[in-house]
Chains A and B, each alone.
Chain A
Amino acid sequence: MNGLPAVFLVFFCFLVLEAVLRARQRRQRLHEMLGDPPAGRFAAVADWILARETPGRLLTRLQVSLEVLGKTSRAASRRQALLLVAVLGGALGVLGLLLVFRGAAPGEVLLRMGGALALCAGILAGLVSRGRWRFRQELPRIYRLLSSRYLVGGDMLAAIELTLPDLAPGCREAMHTAREALLLNDGERRDKILSELMARFDEEYFTLLLYMIRQGTEKGGQQAILEQFVEVTEECLLEIEYRKEVGMAARSYTLLILLVVLLMGGVTLFNLRVLGEPSMVFYSAPEARLFQGAYLLMGLLSVWLIRFMERTFQ
């Protein structure tokens, strides 16, 4: 009987979703017939979030990561980022409703919702970190391609134009924006666009690359630019190697600690199966719950400490 409200809730959610999608489709068709493109509500929500400082920064980071990982355009990645956040938020809401419908105690609801929230945050943080890592990996290749084309032609803008088709879509759009900005006569506007690009990707070697492109376009000086290209590419490769080394050590110990923490469930199951009744008495006591909580907390603190050590290196 416990599953009945859940089934009902899922069915109800499907019905609502169906109704919303059909209404949207109808509205879109109407707008198409009138030749008036609908003002994107998605874009409006995204703009509203981006106008806020911290949520905007977080959404931009997620969007950039999706752009690099999924090799999509900026608009598509913005939609995907919003959709992902909405889906995770919706799943959290449904979980909360399910728990309330099942008549769970407030403490249990809080605990489970906290765990689910941490899991969602972990998924988003993992995506962002993966995207940044992929983008960093891509940078030495961009440096190499650009320096090679610049060496042949001696013109930075032509070198960027030649390089664009060889880049991954996420990076291609950024480089295309940089090129368009460098073509502008208005120096202030050009600097603003470049600064926005630097802030969007927030990657030191990308910032250096943009400055190098700007200096190459404005001042020329093939020899000096090429020297800088070689130096920065070497540094970028070394930095990637160092971070990889430290990151591998941190990840392996994080996994080990998480494995040991998760083994607690196995230990409980083992004792319940082998020992039987006395272990049930032991595990239902508040001291055992306290021990479990303290152990989980210690495991999380250990993971955090390892990640902190990794982060301080960067």
Chain B
Amino acid sequence: MIYLPLSFVVLFLAVLGWWILARRDRYPGKTWEALLVRAGIPARLGAAGLDLRRFGHLKLAAGLGALLLGAASAVRAMPGGVVAAGVLFFVPETAAFLVAVSTRRARRREILFLKRLFILNGSIEPVAFDEVIGILRAHACLLAPLLVRIENGRKSNSARMRELYEDLSIQSRDLEVSLFLEKLSQADRIDFREGLRSIRTDFAIEKLGRRRQCEKTREAIEITGLILTMLLTGLLAYYLVLPWLQAYSLQALR
């Protein structure tokens, strides 16, 4: 029965953690968020466009839930509950990972579409960069803040466009976005036709990669589907045999 006092100690620690989080403004640098920063999580979350504070709350809630479930399972001697608590503890990380993957793919897809729009609207002359950037901004979702800043920069007399593009490229922390911004910068500052040609070449290369990406995704789906089906079939077989094992003791057959 050591589990009972142990679970109370852990619960007390969790409440202490909650208390620290609630007073994070009074103790800057010693908060849950600071711990996450030290663990290097914000860089990954930032790439996915996630809010660190929300993630911290989610993690704390999942941790508390896992502790309560784990303690209850340990007291009632239910090993399945302990495993479930372990799974519950890592739910925020899994969710963050999935959101990061989804956002990265969505951003790549959006850049591809914006390139296509740029090529289409830039190829039919007469054309101006302002017109094309306005169209791109109207259809951007994840890249909209960047494009708005470029549009505003172009309207301002004092903006140094080269520095602006470089700043945006550094802030984006995404290679695909940086490459796209380089081409936009070329079309904006140097020569529109040269920039259009660069985007066209880049788009053609990406189109070739799309075939490979399709095959990779299909293979990944097939492998995952096969593993999951086998796992479910194994569990189903276990479920089929379980009442028989309870009804007839195998020891008696010896």
Chain A residues with CB under 8 Å of chain B are: 195, 198, 204, 207-208, 211-212, 215-216, 219, 221, 224-225, 227-228, 232, 235, 238-239, 242, 245-246, 249-250, 252-254, 256-257, 260-261, 263-264, 267, 270-271, 275, 278-279, 281-283, 290-291, 294-295, 298-299, 302, 305-306, 308-314
B239 touches A295 (CB 8 A): yes
Q: Specify which of B109, B120, B207, B226 is in contact with A211 (CB 8 Å cutoff).
A: B120
CB distance from B137 to the nearest CB of A (A): 12
- Choose among A227, A238, A281 the residue that contacts B123 (Cβ–Cβ < 8 A): A227
Report the minimal beta-carbon distance from B138 to chain A, rounded to whole angstroms: 7
B118 to chain A minimum Cβ distance, whole angstroms, is 11
Please tell me if B214 contacts chain A, counting CB pairs below 8 Å: yes
Q: Is B28 an interface residue (CB 8 A)?
A: no
Interface flags for B122-143 (1: CB within 8 Å of A; 0: not) read: 0111100000000100110000
Contact in complex: B239, A221 (CB < 8 Å)? no
A310: nearest chain-B partner, CB-CB:
B221
Q: Which residues of A contact B243 (CB under 8 A)?
A: 271, 275, 278-279, 282-283
Determine whether the beta carbon of A224 is less than 8 Å from that of B123.
yes
Residue of B nearest to A299 (CB): B232
Return chain A residues, CB-CB under 8 Å to B233: 260
Assess whether B172 is interfacial by the CB under 8 Å rule: no
Taking CB atoms, residues of chain A closer than 8 Å to B232 are 257, 260-261, 295, 298-299, 302
Contact between A224 and B121 (Cβ–Cβ < 8 Å)? no
Is B158 in contact with chain A by the CB < 8 A criterion? Answer: no
Are B225 and A211 in contact (CB-based, < 8 A)? no
Which 10 residue pairs spanning A and B have beta carbons closest together? A253-B225, A278-B247, A282-B243, A242-B214, A302-B228, A279-B243, A313-B217, A215-B124, A312-B105, A249-B221
Instruction: Name the distance in Å between B139's Cβ and chain A's nearest Cβ.
Output: 7
Q: Is the CB of B240 within 8 A of A309?
A: no
Interfacial chain A residues near B207, Cβ < 8 Å: 235, 238
Contacts across chains A and B counted by CB atoms under 8 Å: 136
B236, A264: Cβ atoms closer than 8 Å: yes
Q: Could you tell me if A257 and B236 are in contact, using CB atoms closer than 8 angstroms?
A: no
Complex-state Cα separation, A228 to B244, whole angstroms: 68
Quote the shortest CB–CB distance from A233 to chain B (angstroms): 12
- 19 A-B pairs with CB atoms under 8 Å apart are A195-B138, A211-B120, A221-B124, A221-B125, A235-B207, A238-B211, A246-B214, A246-B218, A249-B218, A263-B236, A267-B239, A278-B246, A278-B247, A282-B243, A283-B243, A290-B80, A312-B102, A312-B105, A313-B214
B residues 108-122 in Cβ contact with A at 8 Å = 109, 113, 116-117, 119-121
Task: Determine the chain B residues whose CB is within 8 A of the CB of A312 once the complex forms.
Answer: 101-102, 105, 217
Interface of B is mostly: helix
Most buried by A among B98, B117, B240: B240
In the complex, chain A residues whose CB is within 8 Å of the CB of B247: 275, 278-279, 282
CA distance A246 to B219 in the complex (A): 9
Task: Find chain A residues with CB under 8 A from B125 CB.
Answer: 219, 221, 224
Chain A residues whose CB sits within 8 angstroms of the CB of B214 once the complex forms: 242, 245-246, 313
Nearest CB in chain B: distance from A16 CB, A: 45
The answer to whether B120 touches A212 (Cβ under 8 A) is yes
| B43 touches A (CB below 8 Å) | no
Q: Is A309 a contact partner of B224 (Cβ separation < 8 A)?
A: yes
Interchain nearest-CB distance for A250 vs B (Å): 5
* B235 A208 Cβ-Cβ under 8 A: no
Does B171 sit at the interface, judged by CB under 8 A? no
Give 1 or 0 for each of B232-254: 1 = CB within 8 Å of chain A CB: 11011001101110110000000
